């Protein structure tokens, strides 16, 4: 094991990824058995939560305009928030990766565990049972912000993705944690809760939550209006997972990379506000549609990679693209900003083969690159895709939203926190875009492609690509059954 610097992590996560990181998904699944998390069954006393919650709440149009939502009782709000963060929602029998998530991991392997901290103690949320288990904290819980008496915390488990991504897992878990932090911001507004994003930087939470070396607290929100003490029901058999002890021996760079992403190993940053107040009222562009916001959240799930994108021929125009960008901006303004969001730069690759405007555009739709050589522009994108099967499905894509950052500027602003903050912020922006795409009947597939450097060079970009969202239209979707 050796130490790494932030600059090393940025290089390893981009053009050196293929030759310097050990990532089974890129070359060989034969190692997967040695990396599979260990499963055990234990008898636990759980408090089952109510499954009777609203299925219709507010139109997406009203939600994105920032209209007030009727305040729910804190217990009902908790059930709703947990359901749309991590609880099983749908079973897709034809999905090779067995997605069962309301806000599905884009990689079909959910890497987060949610906990609730109150004055009475600590509760672990078991998503497959929609239930809470009381656990005594291993050390005193850190003080919550003034006026708050409980917190919802998401723990990122890097080891959960190691079977596919091994040494690349810290990048992906952090991006997905950012997506969940944005989703949590939208859900607490829907629940009518009062509180703020919880600052998890610094070492205070590690001892209290008894976290292992391959997991860390990443997502947090603290609220007021105390939760009750959850008395347990009858004991239940529960599946418990733990990291395979062979991981660290197989992947010597895994823990050094985790430490660079881990806010609990970084010192507190007294000069930066970890979250900002809700931003100004947005101006919504275009028609957000008539669907209920909960219906949009249910539709927001990962696609079936095994089945491809299943394209439908549908033309798009500049007005529609402006609508998508404007609404994603509006959605982002209605939650707390994450540190690092100000440094993100959004551009859009317009690649629909049925339109006359392929090329790269900034978020105000000023052309940047590719308009003179449409076929070459598309081939550059195809060459960067992670698998040959994806390249055959580019006809399904209408747009690729590219989230990038100026690294020197970001490093100066955030110092040792830059790597984690920028990945969290990129994930949050990707979630806002994905929700808006879902509202308009499009699929949203966030990806960290294999060769971002080739794209930045060919497209004359001066920023480092952190995340991308593939967007297009499906003529069909996975057959599924609702759960719970």
Mean pLDDT value across residues 106-115: 85
Q: What is the CATH number of the domain that holds 424?
A: 3.40.109.10
Residues 195 and 248 in one domain: yes
pLDDT at residue 272, rounded to an integer: 45
Query: What's phi and psi for 240, nearest 5 deg?
Result: -120, 145
- 348 pLDDT exceeds 90? yes
Residues 255 and 312 in one domain: no
In this structure, what token pair is assigned to residue 90? Answer: 């749908």
Q: In what order do the strands lie in the sheet with 397-405?
A: 367-369, 359-362, 344-350, 397-405, 464-473, 442-447
User: Which domain does 299 fall in, by range?
Assistant: 293-482
Residues 145 and 15 in one domain: yes
Query: What's phi and psi for 274, nearest 5 deg?
Result: -65, -20
Q: Which residue has the tokens 């303004």?
A: 333
Residues 76 and 153 in one domain: yes
Residues 133 and 243 in one domain: yes
pLDDT at residue 274, rounded to an integer: 42
Question: Rounded to the nearest 10 degrees, how much is the dihedral formed by the CA atoms of 158, 262, 436, 63?
Answer: 120
- 122 pLDDT exceeds 90? yes
Total domains in the fold of the chain: 2
pLDDT single digits (tens) 78-106: 888 998 888 777 777 766 666 666 666 77
pLDDT single digits (tens) 27-65: 765 555 556 788 899 999 999 998 887 788 889 999 999
pLDDT single digits (tens) 262-280: 876 655 554 444 444 445 5
Residues 226 and 307 in one domain: no
pLDDT single digits (tens) 367-400: 988 777 777 888 888 878 766 666 656 777 889 9
Residues 452 and 340 in one domain: yes
What whole-number distance in Å separates Cα of residue 368 and Cα of residue 381? 15
Task: Let me know: does 221 contact 188? Beta carbons within 8 Å.
Answer: yes
pLDDT at residue 349, rounded to an integer: 93
Residues 243 and 183 in one domain: yes
Tell me if 99 is assigned to some domain. Answer: yes
């Amino acid at each position: 094991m050796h130490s790494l610097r932030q600059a090393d992590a940025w290089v390893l996560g981009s053009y050196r990824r293929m030759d310097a990181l050990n990532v089974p998904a890129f070359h060989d699944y034969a190692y997967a058995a040695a990396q599979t998390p260990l499963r055990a069954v234990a008898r636990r006393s759980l408090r089952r939560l109510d499954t009777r919650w609203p299925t219709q709440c507010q139109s997406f149009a009203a939600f994105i305009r920032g209209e007030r939502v009727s305040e729910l009782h804190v217990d009902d709000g908790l059930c709703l928030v947990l359901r749309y963060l991590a609880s099983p929602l749908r079973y897709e029998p034809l999905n090779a990766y067995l997605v069962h998530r309301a806000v599905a991991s884009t990689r079909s392997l959910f890497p987060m565990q949610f906990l609730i901290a109150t004055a009475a103690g600590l509760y672990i949320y078991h998503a497959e049972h929609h239930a809470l288990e009381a656990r005594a904290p291993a050390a005193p819980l850190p003080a919550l912000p003034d006026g708050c008496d409980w917190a919802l915390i998401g723990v990122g488990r890097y080891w959960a993705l190691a079977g596919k991504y091994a040494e690349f897992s810290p990048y992906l878990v952090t991006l997905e944690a950012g997506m969940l932090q944005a989703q949590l911001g939208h859900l607490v507004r829907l629940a009518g809760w009062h509180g703020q994003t919880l600052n998890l930087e610094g070492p205070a939470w590690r001892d209290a939550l008894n976290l292992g070396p391959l997991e860390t607290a990443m997502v947090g929100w603290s609220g007021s209006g105390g939760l009750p003490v959850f008395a347990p029901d009858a004991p239940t058999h529960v599946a418990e997972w733990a990291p395979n002890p062979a991981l660290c021996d197989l992947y010597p760079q895994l823990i050094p990379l985790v430490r660079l992403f881990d806010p609990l190993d970084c010192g507190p940053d007294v000069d930066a506000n970890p979250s900002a107040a809700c931003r100004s009222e947005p101006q919504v562009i275009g028609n957000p549609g008539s669907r209920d916001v909960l219906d949009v959240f249910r539709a927001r799930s990962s696609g079936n990679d095994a089945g491809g994108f299943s394209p439908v021929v549908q033309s798009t125009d500049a007005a529609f693209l402006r609508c998508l960008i404007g609404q994603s901006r509006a959605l982002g303004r209605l939650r707390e900003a994450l540190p690092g969001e100000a440094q993100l730069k959004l551009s859009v690759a317009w690649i629909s083969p049925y339109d006359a405007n392929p090329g790269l555009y900034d978020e105000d739709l000023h052309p940047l690159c590719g308009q003179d050589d449409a076929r070459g522009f598309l081939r550059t994108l195809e060459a960067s895709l992670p698998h040959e099967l994806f390249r055959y499905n580019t006809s399904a894509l209408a747009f690729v939203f590219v989230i990038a950052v100026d690294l020197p500027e970001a490093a100066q602003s955030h110092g040792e926190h830059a790597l984690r903050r920028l990945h969290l912020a990129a994930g949050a922006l990707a979630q806002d875009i994905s929700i808006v795409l879902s509202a308009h009947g499009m699929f949203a597939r966030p990806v960290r492609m294999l060769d971002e450097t080739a794209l930045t060079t060919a497209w004359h970009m001066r920023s480092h690509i952190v995340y991308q969202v593939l967007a297009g239209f499906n003529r069909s979707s996975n057959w599924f059954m609702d759960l719970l």
